[in-house]
Structure 1
Amino acid sequence: MAIINLEYYSEVLGMNRNVKIIYPEASKVSGFKNTDIPVLYLLHGMSGNENSWLARTGLDRLVRHTNIAIIMPSTDLGFYVNTTYGMNYFDAIAIELPKVIQNFFPNLSTKRDKNFIAGLSMGGYGAFRLGLGTNHFSHIASLSGVLTFNGMEGRFEENPEYWGGIFGTWEQFKNSDNEILALAARARKQEEKPKLYVWCGEQDELFSGNEFAVSELKRFGYDTTYEKSSGTHDWYYWTKYIEEVLKWLPINYVQEERLI
């Protein structure tokens, strides 16, 4: 397994960007084939960047025996959307980045059924926004994600500079593609809907929103795996449940042997 830091110029954003990559190693993976390698795009939360998952979890250890590449980009604080201030993070990550990755790593799969996306908190929102807003990913996972802003209208009023810069006014946000459930309602008409995974801790302030979002996603006809447990908005739980995501994905996930 190799950990690669790729710096590239983003034509969409007009600046250099960094993306962290975990790349499988033939000698560590049973039955490794150096073609059509499955890919997981893994997104950070509001306080993070492309280094967060590696710095805060044992992710590299978890996948060292599994044939999967993990791509970890950064959206800064831009919520993975095309912001009103002109930074088009959605286009940069959903459309441009897969082409950049394919250019440098042509043996990674471009097939929908071998491309997946997941994230935590803001990244959980981002995974659903990018996943439902394209037809590139067959599986989408959220850990403690902001899957609905219902009841959070006050944030737009309290900090209009930030939230307005990201989404515009509350009225502009509602029923737009940036509202996950509105997007999901429209995307359910796709012939092949992605499979969904959601986890949220019961002590998390986002828990009730996740409960509501999951009920709506199921009502829309999405194949949704929902897990909940005692837990807060914390890396302890995200480290635990990213392994559950890996088990859920249609890959031959090989668990690391644990020392007793």
Structure 2
Amino acid sequence: MEFLEINYYSETLHMEQSMNIILPEKSDRNPDWTVESLQDLPALYLLHGMSGNHSMWARRTNIERIIRMTKIAVIMPSTDLAWYTNTTYDLHYFDALAKELPNKIQQLFPQISTKPEKNFVCGMSMGGYGAWKLALGTTQFSYAASLSGALVFGNDEPFPFGPKEYWQGIFGDLKQIHGSENDLFTLAEKRKQSSTPIPKLFSWCGRQDFLFDNNNQAVEKMQALNYDVEYQINDGTHEWYYWEKYLENVLEWLPIDFVREERLS
């Protein structure tokens, strides 16, 4: 596998950004792979949570080992603390990831597919929200997975941490989130009314996670809208041990030839 750290200038954000990328490569470890078979590669975008950045998935999980026998590109971008959102302070993080980044990827790595049916997104916590938001708010992704996602917002402060001023800086008037472009269920309703393909959704959350009820509500809402949602529940808390473990379940759910390491002879 090739592991790359890319630093690039974002014209959308008007500042330097970073991302990590893992690419499959032909080598003596994969003698059956050909250059031709590594074209039109499926891509999985992995999104970080609060307090994280583009490096978190590589630092907290064994993602390279997990996918080492799978022909897939993994793209790990950063959104800082902006919730994958076009903020009220005029930094358009959603646009940077939903519109600008796929074009940048295609310029740098033309072997990565641009087809929605081969582009997937997964995130943990804040990144779970971002994954569903990117899939519902664009036509770029056909599958979106959330691990312990922060999916349902309240009408006052979205979550019981951080000052109200922080949340207002991201979303504006907190009482106006429902019905806005930052509300996943509003996006889901609009998507159902459009003529574009509907993404498949995945959610995992541990019973001991403080976002467990949040995930139950989100899945119920999406199922009421007739979305195809794979919902998995196990014991677990809000930590990387579980997100790494259930990332493999996400990979098995995706329409790719994922090979678990323990299956290898």
TM score, norm. by length of structure 2:
0.93
Which deviates the most, 178-187 or 5-14? 178-187
CA shift, 1:184, in A, is: 1.3
Q: Does 1:125 align with 2:129?
A: yes
SS in 2 for 1:60: helix
Aligned to 1:22: 22
Distance 2:161 2:105 in 1: 39
1:216 to 221, 226, 234: 221
Q: Does 1:247 align with 2:260?
A: no
CA shift, 1:240, in A, is: 0.4
Among all aligned residue pairs of Structure 1 and Structure 2, give the percentage whose two residues are the same amino acid. 51
Aligned ranges 1:99-114 → 2 under 5 Å: 99-114=103-118
Distance 1:157 1:239 in 2: 25
Change in CA separation of 1:85 and 1:255 when aligned onto 2, cut-off 3 Å: same
CA RMSD of aligned residues (A): 1.8
Distance 2:33 2:228 in 1: 30
The letter for the 2-side match of 1:115 is N
Aligned to 2:66: 62
Gaps of 5+ in 2: none
SS in 1 for 2:151: coil
The letter for the 1-side match of 2:214 is G
Distance 2:17 2:256 in 1: 29
Distance 1:65 1:156 in 2: 41
The alignment of Structure 1 onto Structure 2 pairs a total of residues equal to 259
List, as ranges, runs of 4+ consecutive aligned residues in structure 1 with deviation greater than 3 Å: 28-32, 150-158
Aligned ranges 1:1-260 → 2 under 5 Å: 1-27=1-27, 28-29=29-30, 30-32=32-34, 33-150=37-154, 153=157, 155=159, 159-191=163-195, 192-257=197-262
SS in 1 for 2:99: helix
SS in 2 for 1:46: coil
Distance 2:88 2:175 in 1: 14
Distance 1:204 1:152 in 2: 21
Distance 1:90 1:60 in 2: 27
Distance 1:204 1:5 in 2: 32
CA shift, 1:159, in A, is: 1.8
Change in CA separation of 1:189 and 1:26 when aligned onto 2, cut-off 3 Å: farther
Gaps of 5+ in 1: none
TM score, norm. by length of structure 1:
0.95
Which deviates the most, 87-96 or 179-188? 179-188
Distance 2:248 2:88 in 1: 35
Residues 157-180 of structure 1 deviation map (CA, whole Å, 9 limit, x = unaligned): 972220000001112222101011
The letter for the 2-side match of 1:209 is N
